[in-house]
Amino acid sequence: MELKLTDLDISEGFERLVLAEDASSGLRALICVHSTVLGPAAGGCRMWDYADDAEAIADVTRLARGMTYKNAMAGLGLGGGKSVIIGDARRDKTPAMMRAFGRAVDALKGMYYTAEDVGISPEDMAHAAAETRYAVGLSGASGDPSPWTAEGVFRCLRIGAAHVFGSDDLTGRRVLVQGLGHVGLSLAQKLHEAGAELIVTDIHAAALEEAKTRLGAEICAPDAVFEQRMDIFAPCALGGVLDEHSSAKLQARLVCGAANNQLTSPGIAEALRTRGITYLPDYVVNAGGIISVASEIHRTGDRWRRERLDGIAERVAEMLARASAEDRSTELIADEMVERMLREASAA
């Protein structure tokens, strides 16, 4: 059976949702394009063992919308999209599957650029790139975007710390890093070098042991995160970690991390604000990875990437100043900034 693409019904405000299936390789993937108003959609490919199609669709659509906002705020000249491959990346993934995924991306004819995300490596993306020129984040080009994501989060975290604590000096600050993948571990390294006291949690024992041995981190169980005393919470695993229950228990004063879609609903940002907790919107602070990928799409270099990292930091400072002056959440301020960009682009 050859690759089969099926357009699925999609919510208003989205442009396209495609189911890609290839029986010979076992591929079953979803590609969602939220917006191409600012340019072709760009966003990573995630591989995850979803419980069912509904869960996968909910994730890919939420992530695609987030990419529109992230790319707009970072000033990349790109729209927002995302893809997910349904399956266990440790067990099911093969080069043939990734090549089939590449053919699915290619069938969209440049409407969507893909790159690596959770469960997908630059090597995996190289297999996809054998079938399409719209696969980026490749070794020898922009490469693994995770160090750039970690650098952007770290810069924004220091700006947030200066706003909340009066200084960006992290010496002695208790920072809990939830998730020690490529980005989380890189961020933990930067925090350690800045003098922070690290608390870490992850579902993989080897990652925890590395952080304990190399960075002197304190380990906490995944289900004990919100029992911990901390100054800063850095969610770097999957999304939806802050809901009504967990946000009410959180003991940090600043939230700044790399995970996408950290809040289960927009109201959580306001709930945090009323408790005196400053939340830095994830789609703003974690844009370093897509900045790196965008440099490959636009064929620019390190200077372009660093200028846009500086731009993210400036926007965070602007958000914080406006949120304080207007007594509103940073999430509302950030969304308004993006929506104005989209309106102006649409009108033009």
Question: Which of 3.40.50.10860, 3.40.50.300, 3.40.50.740, 3.90.650.10 would CATH assign to domain 4-69+78-129?
Answer: 3.40.50.10860
pLDDT of residue 266: 81
pLDDT in tens, 296-341: 899 988 899 999 999 999 999 999 999 999 999 999 999 999 999 9
List, for residues 120-154, the tens digit of each pLDDT value: 988 999 999 999 999 998 877 766 778 899 999 99
Residue 204 assigned to a binding site: no
Contact 100, 128 (CB under 8 A): no
* 245 marked as binding residue: no
Q: What is the per-residue pLDDT for 144?
A: 74
* Residue 67 in tokens: 């990419």
Coil, strand, or helix at residue 139? coil
Place of tokens 């952080």: 211
183 annotated as a binding-site residue: yes
117 C-beta neighbours (distance < 10 Å), count: 23
Q: What is the pLDDT of residue 118?
A: 85
Average pLDDT across the chain, whole number:
94
Q: What is the DSSP string of 32-99?
A: EEEE-SSSSEE--EEEE--SSHHHHHHHHHHHHHHHHHHHHHTT-S-EEEEEEEES-TTTT--HHHHH
State pLDDT tens for residues 260-305: 889 998 899 999 999 999 999 999 999 998 898 899 899 988 899 9
> In the chain, where does the domain assigned CATH 3.40.50.10860 lie?
4-69+78-129
Instruction: Locate CATH 3.40.50.720 in the chain.
Output: 146-343
More confident residue, 266 or 36: 36
Does 182 appear as a known binding residue? yes
Cα separation, 70 vs 78, whole angstroms:
10
At residue 176, φ and ψ (nearest 5 deg) are: -100, 120
**Among 80-84, 122-126, 190-194, which stretch is predicted with the lowest mean pLDDT?**
122-126
pLDDT for 143 equals 67
- Mean pLDDT value across residues 163-184: 96
> Does 239 carry a binding-site annotation?
no
Q: What percent of the chain has pLDDT over 70?
A: 99
Q: Just give the CATH number of 146-343.
A: 3.40.50.720
Residue 195 counted as an annotated binding residue: no
Q: Once rounded to an integer, what is the mean pLDDT over residues 108-113?
A: 97
- Cβ atoms 111, 64 nearer than 8 A: no
Q: Kindly state the percentage of the chain with pLDDT values over 90.
A: 86
For range 44-71, the mean pLDDT: 94
- Checking if the pLDDT of 68 tops 70, the result is yes
Residue 83 has what pLDDT? 98
Active site residues: 82
Characterise 159 by phi-psi region: left (phi > 0), alpha (psi -120 to 50), beta (else): alpha
